[in-house]
């Protein structure tokens, strides 16, 4: 299902290979990259959850040649597009994608295999149920290094309120699709889910067009 937003934007469509996802990724990737350049470690391992078509991870990876990037998604149909973007970008530090379903613990990575210094998620929660935050927190508790962090990018409400009129309008347009899991989520709900698993909200970074990067780490 998709809904129209404005004339210069494709209809909202969360399918990873949709024109909307491509448009949104191209719009937000450079501001996210600038923050990641400030907060990423000099070396180590990075896991992306819900990689979709792989646009973000393959765009970021060449800027961090000393980091190893691991894409993942619950939908194995996006694995080939991720690999194709890797080839197009020449991203030698991007591994083959792995299946991680945030609602299915049996798919979560084994900490005996590898720990990650960074876990990041981009533009997931406006089209995903809030209980996905519980899965992210459990994966983080399982495979995050002692000083590692989780970075979650997107638009959010704070303390039950929209932070801007434009975000409120965006939320109404998403909700108009009448898909139960769609809609802006509240930072505090993500924080509560994280706290249950020993993960705490450390920082909220303001981003362009009224988005945020939420940074979580071990409590």
Mean pLDDT (the chain) is: 89
Does this model's pTM top 0.95? My answer is: no
| Residue 187 covered by a domain | yes
> Do the domain assignments include residue 55?
yes
For residue 17, name the pLDDT band (cuts at 50, 70, 90). Answer: low
Q: Per 3-state DSSP, what percentage of the chain is helix, strand, and coil (rounded to 5)? A: 40, 25, 35
pLDDT of res. 7: 52
pLDDT of 5 reads 46
User: Domain for residue 9, yes or no?
Assistant: no
Q: Which domain does 98 fall in, by range?
A: 19-218
Least confident of 65-74, 118-127, 192-201: 118-127
Output the CA torsion sign for 17, 149, 30, 82.
negative
pLDDT at 22 over 80: no
- For residue 154 the two structure tokens come to 């997107």
Q: How far apart are the first and last CA of the chain?
A: 39
For the chain, how long is the longest CA-to-CA vector? 49
pLDDT at 170: 73
Section 159-183 average pLDDT: 75
Whether residue 13 is contained in a domain is answered as no
CATH code for the domain in which residue 48 is found:
3.40.50.150
Asked, for residue 125, whether it belongs to a domain, the answer is yes
Average pLDDT of the residues in 154-168: 84
Provide the pLDDT for residue 23: 65
The answer to whether position 7 is within a domain reads no
What region, left, alpha or beta, does residue 201 occupy, with left being phi > 0 and alpha being psi -120 to 50 degrees? beta
Would you place residue 195 in the very low, low, confident or very high pLDDT band (cuts 50, 70, 90)?
Answer: very high
Residue 91 above 50 pLDDT?
Answer: yes
Q: Is the pLDDT of residue 20 over 70?
A: no
Is 12 part of a structural domain of the chain?
no
Torsion, Cα of 129, 131, 133, 137 (10° steps): -160
Q: For residues 108 and 176, which has the higher predicted lDDT (pLDDT)? A: 108
| Structure tokens that stand for 91 in this block | 């991203």
pLDDT of residue 134: 96
Between 157 and 176, residue with greater pLDDT: 157
26 versus 14: the higher-pLDDT residue is 26
The pLDDT-based confidence of 3 (bands split at 50, 70, 90) is very low
- What is the number of domains present in the chain? 1
pLDDT of 163: 79
172, two tokens = 């109404």
CB 149 within 8 A of CB 202: yes
């Amino acid at each position: 299902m998709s809904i129209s937003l404005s004339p210069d934007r494709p209809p909202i469509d969360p399918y990873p290979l949709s024109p909307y996802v491509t448009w949104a990724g191209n719009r937000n990737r450079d501001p996210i990259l600038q923050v990641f350049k400030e907060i990423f470690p000099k070396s180590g391992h990075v896991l992306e959850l819900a990689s979709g078509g792989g646009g973000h991870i393959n765009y970021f990876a060449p800027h961090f040649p000393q980091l190893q990037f691991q894409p993942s998604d619950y939908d194995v149909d996006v694995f080939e597009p991720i690999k194709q973007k890797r080839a197009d970008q020449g991203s030698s530090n991007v591994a083959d994608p792995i299946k991680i379903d945030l609602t299915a613990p049996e798919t979560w990575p084994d900490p005996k295999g590898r720990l990650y210094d960074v876990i990041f998620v981009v533009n997931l929660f406006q089209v995903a149920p809030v209980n996905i935050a519980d899965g992210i927190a459990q994966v983080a508790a399982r495979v995050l290094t002692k000083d590692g962090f989780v970075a979650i990018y997107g638009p959010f409400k704070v303390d039950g309120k929209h932070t801007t009129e434009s975000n409120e309008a965006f939320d109404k347009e998403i909700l108009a699709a009448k898909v139960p899991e769609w809609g802006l989520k509240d930072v505090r709900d993500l924080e509560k889910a994280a706290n249950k698993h020993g993960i705490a909200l450390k920082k909220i970074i303001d981003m362009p067009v009224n988005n945020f990067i939420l940074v979580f780490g071990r409590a």
